[in-house]
Structure 1
Amino acid sequence: MSPVTSHSPPGQSPLRTVQVLGGGNAGSSAHVRSLTAGLVARGVRVTVCAPVEADRAYDFTGTGAEHVHVPRSSDPGAVAALRDACKDADLVHAHGLHASFRAALALSGRRTPLVVTWHDRAHAEGARAHLLRLLERRVVKAATVVLGTSSDLVDRARRTGARDARLAAVALPGPTAAEEPEDPDRPSPKIRAELGATGRPLLMAVGSLDRHRGYGTLLDATRAWRLLDPVPLVVIAGEGPLRTVLQRRIEDEGLPVRLIGRRDDVRALLAAADLALLPSSWESRSVLAQEALHARVPLVATRVGGIPELVGDAAELVPYGDAEALADAVTGLLGDPERRELLTEKGVRQAATWPTEDETVAQVLSVYDELTQHRPLV
């Protein structure tokens, strides 16, 4: 990140913001860490309200921010702790639906501007889906500005009643030392050997083992790949409630798939892969899609949510839930090295159009300035 000077004008106290993060998925947590670092570097005082385990994982205090432990729950104790942390804030910025709901409760009766970033869409069915819609309406009613990480999220916020919804610039944060591939220009033989993919194509999928990730369709598609020689290996990194169900299918049907659990070296795993797979029912600004294009790994993804907007023509896009289309796309790419090379070149060009971390911080600061322009002088 480029060096910067103090953001506050002469005679005015430093802007004080509170960033509110719930449990936080990896993408939103990394975004808050990157945003916090950029804000602190520009002279903004930042307090991050998040569970203590989030600070351990993302080291918000290491950026120069203050960390206040606020648990995930919306019980009165958690809301009271958040309300106390926000009492002197010029502006509060909440990330994700549940964190935003807690922030709205904490700011009830105050005039503190509330910025909300929707990084993703909550997935639920039945009564829980109805509850989530109620939470969304409550949040957009309380928010001064809603930032959506994809156009469809912005449209959703507007349909839900947001008075001001805008497309957010969200950069893919740089890798940590643990995530950096040994050699980004070639697959790692060590990782391929560890995964059991020596001498065969390696297809990589990453994400929680939840229903909306489309892993059932992915397992269906692998039946077609068993006819290839050599047989590709599908590796899925992630944990979730469907692990037992998926593992049973893999074993009962003899599918060429490995579940390897949660990993902290996703970038290195992707760099070792021949293809990246994203079979989800919905995605916003998918971290996996961005990391695959950055790593020059061809991507096969579903044509859903923010994916087409994010990747353009730099990936093979298929309908969600269509195992045959997914199988055909993968088989076609594995048999066409020129097409794979073309996709990697397009991926590099597409990634160059995405916002940088500096641009992300600059956009957020412009929103903050707009909402706090009448702050008193010291």
Structure 2
Amino acid sequence: MTPVSSHSPHGQSTLRTVQVLGGGNAGSSAHVRSLAAGLVARGVRVTVCAPVEADRTYDFSGAGAEHVHVPRSSDPGSVAALRAACTGADLVHAHGLHASFRAALALAGRSTPLIVTWHNRAHAEGARAHFLRMLERRVVRAAAVVLGTTSDLVDRARKAGARDARLAAIALPGHRTPAEPDEPDLARPKIRAELGAIGRPLLMAVGSLDPRRGYDVLLAAARAWRGLDPVPLVAIAGEGPLRTALQRRIEEEGLPVRLIGRRDDVGELLAAADLALLPSRWESRSLLAQEALHARVPLVATAVGGVPELVGDAAELVPPGDAEAFATAVVRLLGDPERRELLAEKGLRQAATWPTEDETVAQVLSVYDELTQPRPLI
């Protein structure tokens, strides 16, 4: 890859960027960590503005970036702290709607270019949905460029009034090359034993326990699997506000489902699974889908948001909210080892088409150059 210039148009020797995160979900935080490392390696000065707990988890400082603690959006001092951190920056790159809105407020009255990456779509109903649409309009009109991680997010930004909206190249940071099929995985039997999946299929879902994830539909589908022999076990890794309600339903209906809480070994969990499940009502660039395809684990997912664009024909896709269709797709795959192997191979081929971390950094740097290089006089 040919590196772009790291010289500022203002006579400074090095381009200085500020990356802004809000609370930062796993996808956007991991992306910013990867992006920061790539930018620093190419001679760019990077400041990451994020809550201190995000730096503890993602170690932006360890990537060579300066970390500045900026409280979450609910803190009244967050915009002032962000405005101070952005002083002297050549450009500011904000990730997510709330972080982008605060960045726009912090840059008010300044000529510093603002780049925005939308990693996901904010979900709400009623008055809050109207408020979020107002935030979106304010953000995209303040941004010089909006990068969307999926085509529908790009379209959403354009409809909201973006001057320049483009599809972002987003890599899956730090993924490992998947093991060959005949390579022994010593962790697999241990994990399956821990979860209680010895002698039965293990179906793995990962994500926060909130309404968007569609776990109510997954539990409804699990009723259909109770009649299989052996009965598959569904393990759901994650925490969230629906945990109590989901656990109560699992117990009352006798469902073959375990809530295993937040885990830091998702890669190993997926590698031990027979199928990966993604029943979401909306997803952008799903980390679970990417990890599953890299790990050669067949995926059953809902055809929502950026999922079809991401996985192509390398997964079984079903309509959102349709428990019967989801259950049928799982049963069909469990009974068809040849189809599972075909999806595993297709998954590897599809994953090979996704952007690398180098390509992601290259795209971002090209946008930075557009916004900071002096334009010739006509």
**CA deviation digits over 1:317-347, x for unaligned, max 9?**
0000000100000000000000000000000
Check conservation: 2:71, 2:77, Cα contact below 8 A: no
* Structure 1 segment 336-375 matched on structure 2, within 5 A: 336-374=336-374
Q: For residues 236 and 74 of structure 2, what CA distance do their matches in structure 1 show?
A: 33
Partner of 1:257: 257
* Structure 1 segment 137-286 matched on structure 2, within 5 A: 137-175=137-175, 186=185, 188-286=188-286
Corresponding pairs, count: 371
Q: For residues 234 and 210 of structure 1, what CA distance do their matches in structure 2 show?
A: 17
Tell me the secondary structure at the aligned position of residue 77 of structure 2: helix
Unaligned runs of at least 5 residues, structure 2? none
Q: For residues 2 and 189 of structure 2, what CA distance do their matches in structure 1 show?
A: 38
Tell me the secondary structure at the aligned position of residue 46 of structure 2: strand
1:321 aligns with 2:321: yes
**CA deviation digits over 1:77-96, x for unaligned, max 9?**
11000000001000000000
Q: For residues 260 and 155 of structure 1, what CA distance do their matches in structure 2 show?
A: 37
Q: For residues 321 and 156 of structure 1, what CA distance do their matches in structure 2 show?
A: 23
1:7 aligns with 2:6: yes
Q: For residues 68 and 246 of structure 2, what CA distance do their matches in structure 1 show?
A: 38
Check conservation: 1:19, 1:93, Cα contact below 8 A: yes
Distance 1:3 1:157, change over 3 A: closer
TM-superposed CA distance for 1:184, in Å, is 7.6
Tell me the secondary structure at the aligned position of residue 218 of structure 1: helix
> Over aligned residues, Cα RMSD in angstroms?
2.1
Check conservation: 1:5, 1:41, Cα contact below 8 A: no
Distance 1:5 1:158, change over 3 A: closer
Partner of 2:299: 299
Tell me the secondary structure at the aligned position of residue 157 of structure 1: helix
Q: For residues 113 and 261 of structure 1, what CA distance do their matches in structure 2 show?
A: 41
Q: For residues 52 and 349 of structure 1, what CA distance do their matches in structure 2 show?
A: 38
Check conservation: 2:3, 2:362, Cα contact below 8 A: no
Partner of 1:37: 37
1:60 aligns with 2:69: no
Check conservation: 2:147, 2:166, Cα contact below 8 A: yes
Check conservation: 2:34, 2:357, Cα contact below 8 A: yes
Tell me the secondary structure at the aligned position of residue 188 of structure 1: helix
Partner of 1:72: 72
Q: For residues 123 and 4 of structure 2, what CA distance do their matches in structure 1 show?
A: 41
TM-superposed CA distance for 1:5, in Å, is 9.2
* Structure 1 segment 102-117 matched on structure 2, within 5 A: 102-117=102-117
Check conservation: 2:91, 2:113, Cα contact below 8 A: yes
TM-score by length of 1: 0.94
TM-superposed CA distance for 1:76, in Å, is 3.8
Check conservation: 1:236, 1:260, Cα contact below 8 A: yes
Q: Which amino acid aligns with 2:196?
A: G
Partner of 1:288: 288
Q: Which amino acid aligns with 1:310?
A: L
Q: For residues 107 and 194 of structure 2, what CA distance do their matches in structure 1 show?
A: 50
Q: Which amino acid aligns with 2:159?
A: R
Q: For residues 367 and 279 of structure 1, what CA distance do their matches in structure 2 show?
A: 35
Q: Which amino acid aligns with 1:144?
A: A
Distance 1:139 1:196, change over 3 A: same
Q: For residues 220 and 119 of structure 1, what CA distance do their matches in structure 2 show?
A: 29
TM-superposed CA distance for 1:138, in Å, is 1.0
TM-superposed CA distance for 1:111, in Å, is 0.8
Check conservation: 2:8, 2:373, Cα contact below 8 A: no
TM-score by length of 2: 0.94
TM-superposed CA distance for 1:64, in Å, is 1.1
Q: Which amino acid aligns with 1:7?
A: S
Tell me the secondary structure at the aligned position of residue 116 of structure 2: strand
Q: For residues 3 and 190 of structure 1, what CA distance do their matches in structure 2 show?
A: 45
TM-superposed CA distance for 1:7, in Å, is 3.4
Residue identity over aligned pairs, in percent, reads 83
Q: For residues 185 and 174 of structure 1, what CA distance do their matches in structure 2 show?
A: 22
Q: For residues 152 and 183 of structure 2, what CA distance do their matches in structure 1 show?
A: 32
Farther-moved stretch of structure 1 (55-64 vs 4-13): 4-13
Farther-moved stretch of structure 1 (316-325 vs 126-135): 126-135
Tell me the secondary structure at the aligned position of residue 234 of structure 1: strand
Check conservation: 2:279, 2:301, Cα contact below 8 A: yes
Check conservation: 1:74, 1:102, Cα contact below 8 A: no
**CA deviation digits over 1:116-156, x for unaligned, max 9?**
00000111122221111111111111111000000000000
